[in-house]
Amino acid sequence: MTRVAAFDCGTNSIRLLIADLDGQGGLTDVVRTLELVRLGEGVDRTGRFTEAALERTLAATQKFADLCREHEVERLRFVATSATRDAANRAEFTDAVQSILGVPAEVIPGTEEAALSFRGALTALAASDPDEPTPQHLVIDLGGGSTELVLGGSAPDSAYSMDVGCVRLAERNVHSDPPLESELDTIRRDVTAALDVATATVDLSQATEVMGVAGTVTTITAHALGLTSYDPAVISGSRLPLADVLRSCEALSHMPRAERAALPYMHPGRVDVITAGAVIWSTVLQRIADATAAAGRPLEWVTTSEHDILDGVALALAPDDSAAEE
């Protein structure tokens, strides 16, 4: 057994997974936690981290470092994604993280983020029948600053990172309560333009299984399931009709803030960005549905995974992991 720690620092949240690797690809959670620190607050507009956002995120990093010491972690890796890629003063952040953890803060490209999310997401699926063709999984990681699309069977074949995320597009477009239809339309246009570019790399029509990951998707899934509290065990691996997911996106995108905040599964740090996230998710799903229908394989179901880039990073920390060495 090797005890590892994976840090994922995105635009909206910083997350930690401490897990035991069994040497055969198995992963057992010890600690899985997050804090919504909004590191990327204002980065889309200014291109820089604010001091307040840095303070929040570094305080959470220190707290997570203490957990790693408490649980006697042997190997750890810290990856930072969209907001850190965009921030001109990223070195101030990455230097401070290295000082706290003793390892470099890796600012990974969107394609690597996609591949790690794909690897992690597939851990939520039951083993497939070896006599059946391998499904073409399309994993969508809808984050705060970017959305990754990655397509493949047991490993990624193609991937693309779009600069559309729930924090980025909420800050840019949502200024009314409840949101105006014109604001929602602007988000749809931004996502559609990004998809026009992405689909030159990732052929959405090839998808036979669609899986969404990250907090926006899991929250929308909680709404579609009608949960009375946020329950990861129920959410992860759930397979819902596309129509149900689209209805939940429509409802959440038009809800007033007070109504969103009162939902029992809504994290306070998602209240102001779930509107944009719901529009992004519905726009992406509708584009996939149109592409698969045109190919004669209509999309009927959408799967959600609580396992994502965190699990991918943790798995890559195995001492003999070949994927980590490539």
Over residues 157-163, the mean pLDDT reads 95
- CA quadruple 128, 130, 132, 138: dihedral sign: positive
Instruction: Enumerate the domain spans of the chain.
Output: 2-108, 113-305
Instruction: Specify the pLDDT at position 127.
Output: 52
Q: What is the mean pLDDT of the chain?
A: 93
Q: Give the per-residue pLDDT at 131.
A: 59
Cα separation, 266 vs 300, in Å, equals: 26
Residue in the structure block whose two tokens are 């992004």: 280
Query: Which residues in the chain belong to E strands, given as ranges?
Result: 2-9, 13-21, 27-36, 75-80, 105-107, 137-142, 147-152, 156-162, 209-213, 239-241, 301-305
Q: Mean pLDDT over residues 228-244, rounded?
A: 95
In tens, the pLDDT along 51-85 reads 999 999 999 999 999 999 999 999 999 999 989 99
Residue 292's alpha-carbon distances to 73, 83, 215, 232, 296, in angstroms, are 44, 32, 25, 29, 6
CB-CB contact of 18 with 67 (8 Å): yes
Output the six-digit token pair for 11: 């635009």
pLDDT value at residue 66: 97
pLDDT of residue 132: 66
pLDDT of the residue at 13:
93
261-288 pLDDT per residue, tens:
999 999 999 999 999 999 999 999 999 9
Task: Give tens-digit pLDDT for 169-204.
Answer: 999 999 999 999 999 999 999 999 999 999 999 999
pLDDT on residue 218: 97
- Could you tell me where the beta strands, DSSP code E, fall in 22-85? 27-36, 75-80
Residue 319, pLDDT score: 78
Q: Which of 304, 296, 205 is nearest to 249 (CA)?
A: 304
pLDDT band at 26; cut points 50, 70, 90: confident
Looking at the whole model, is its pTM more than 0.85? yes
CATH, domain 2-108, list 2.60.120.200, 3.30.420.40, 3.40.50.1100, 3.40.50.970: 3.30.420.40
**pLDDT(133) > 70:** no
Query: Hey, do 2-108 and 113-305 end up sharing a CATH topology, with the first three levels equal?
Result: yes
C-alpha to C-alpha distance for 288 and 199, rounded to whole angstroms = 10
**Could you tell me the fold of the domain covering 113-305?**
Nucleotidyltransferase; domain 5 (3.30.420)
pLDDT beyond 60 at 323? no
Residue 40: pLDDT above 80?
A: yes
